Amino acid sequence: MCGIIGCVGRGDETLDTLVHGLAKLEYRGYDSAGVALATDTVDVCKKSGKIDDLRAALESRTLSGPVGIGHTRWSTHGPPTDENAHPHRDCRGEVAVVHNGIIENYQSLRDELASAGHEFRSDTDTEVVPHLIEDALADGANPETAVREAIARLEGSYAVAVVIAGVDAIFAARNDSPLVLGIDDGEEGTGDAPGGAYYLASDVPAFRDHTDRVVYLDDGEFARLSSRGWRVTTLDGEPVEKAVDTVDWDPEETGKSGYDHFMLKEIHEQPRALRQCLRGRVDELSGTVDLGDLGDLTPRAVQFVACGTSYHAAIYAAQLFEEAGIPAKAYLASEYASKTPPIGDALVIGVTQSGETADTLSALREARRRGARTLAVTNTVGSTAARECDHTLYIRAGPEIGVAATKTFASQLAALNLLSLSVTSVSDSRDVIAGLRELPGAVQEILDDSNAEAVAETYGDAGAYFFIGRGLHYPVALEGALKMKEITYKHAEGFAAGELKHGPLALVTENTPVFAVVTGDDEMARKTIGNVKEVEARDAPVVAVTDGQSDVERYADHVLRVPDTHRRIAAVVANVQLQLVAYHTAAQLDRSIDKPRNLAKSVTVE
């Protein structure tokens, strides 16, 4: 949620760099935007609405300066108004602050500051920060010390960036909210390097057009960026040596490449993403999986923690481990952190696309506090989850901009298959590996031949949508429903197929299409067909997602075909058909597909 961008060393291009960076962060979700540039004064322009509204406001303003910060806000404290938009300033207008996260003690700080004569112009928790800095400056502190003293008084989660009139620097700090520095000094070292350009942001895409060299800040760290270079210390001022990493993806990967929406582009990128996930990790001849330096995990039990789409991937993975004889269960991270089950010697696996999901990080930290080994399954190199966990398995999906996860879900399922094969023993492992090797081609076949758009057109005016499946298809049903509700704003629910008759069947009408995922022709498929007959008898239209091995097509009004493959892989390919149905339904309804209302790509507050 929310986006931060800052830059120094860009000269007259500072404002354009900030606005461009904010546009690159739109996927994070926001409802207002603003910028601040510092010279001998601090000039601020901010507007509720979209970045185009900010651009329009800037046309009548003259903002310039060598140092600047920008922000896209997702409302938490106070509605989306011009006044509540970031950046926020102090009483004198000499300090500007942008902030992600939630300051838990803001009310007591605000009361204290108000009683001392400070005037507040917004409803936000953030506004206490510039006033705290103002007080420290008035007491004689130098600018950097003033910012440190203010940050030290904050409780809660924050990524904060500050500019001050007359100071050629940006000050920044983080706690439970991501910040990354961009280094463009032309050198391989760290520290002072006059003449370079330096950036900070919530996420790399904000400045990836300018540099591929990054420094990830950790909790409790403080950064200063100026035209002379960059420096990272603890909040108390102790120097911290930071590695400069190189981002291995091209900035063009964050463009639409001719597609109408990022989501559609990323659906079509799934074959490539899956190849990246599998490359160098599977040996079909030997029937083995090599995950590099994960070491000897061999868990006696596994607990998965995740949220949203990643939770559905975790449910899928838990079934794989259970089938191999290892007790496993998927937990909603937001519940796990507050009601942690007995861990024992279980391996705790956090599944998180961004590696910054606040609920998942809290669950992993609680597990580590209790002595558990932890593993992050993530897409983001250098993310907090990757740095804090004992082990990391990257899904290698590449950057995903659309809020509704698509290629990352498919890559999560593939990576979790690899993980289960590497630490468990199943009799058909060679068949699973063969299926994984064929997976990218199977997904491409669906992308080439799918009739999902016609199905979406047929049922675009439905009152609600049900998705059903059994076993490994159950999490696919959940994910299909989530995609539908996320981007169409229509009511959609996913169920274990056998549960329909225990209540949800009361909601089934002739205006409730039921998407049934049925592959193979085993007992599970036959039971699901029985559930299909139940809804057919109540005049509900049925859309079968099937490989044609069973006779489910006899009872279906429409069929979404998937290639015949291993049952573990069938879940991945079936999901692609449901992604396309959701996408085309949303497109026909003219929804904001890449940026659904009220949602954000990276949820960094609990």
Tokens standing for residue 140 = 């004689």
Distance CA 339, CA 362 (A): 12
601 is catalytic: yes
- 552 - beta bridge partners? none
Identify which of 257, 247, 271, 567 has the alpha carbon closest to the alpha carbon of residue 411. Answer: 271
Tokens standing for residue 405 = 């996860």
Distance CA 259, CA 169 (A): 39
Distance CA 346, CA 301 (A): 5
Sequence-distant (6+) residues with CB within 8 A of 338 are none
> Is 570:547 a contact under the CB 8 Å cutoff?
yes
329 is catalytic: no
Distance CA 234, CA 128 (A): 22
> Is 485:309 a contact under the CB 8 Å cutoff?
no
Q: How far is CA 551 from CA 230, 445, 516, 547, 554, in A?
A: 65, 22, 13, 10, 6
Identify which of 537, 579, 536, 586 has the alpha carbon closest to the alpha carbon of residue 560. Answer: 579
Helix intervals (H) in 350-451: 358-369, 384-388, 407-423, 429-449
Identify which of 272, 290, 273 has the alpha carbon closest to the alpha carbon of residue 281. Answer: 290
Distance CA 174, CA 159 (A): 4
Q: How far is CA 140 from CA 132, 137, 143, 233, 267, in A?
A: 13, 5, 9, 22, 56
Other beta carbons within 10 angstroms of residue 149's beta carbon come to: 17
Q: What is the DSSP letter of 243?
A: -
- φ/ψ of residue 496, rounded to 5: -65, 130
For the chain, what's the residue count? 606
Catalytic one of 46, 47, 265, 601: 601
Identify which of 137, 132, 174, 170 has the alpha carbon closest to the alpha carbon of residue 37. Answer: 170
Q: Which amino acid is at 214?
A: V
Catalytic one of 2, 45, 307, 389: 2
From the CA atom positions of the chain, what is the Rg in Å?
25
458-476 per-residue burial string, b: 16 or more CB within 10 A, e: under 16: ebeebebbbbbbbbbbbbb
> Is 592:490 a contact under the CB 8 Å cutoff?
no
Distance CA 72, CA 13 (A): 19
Catalytic residues: 2, 601
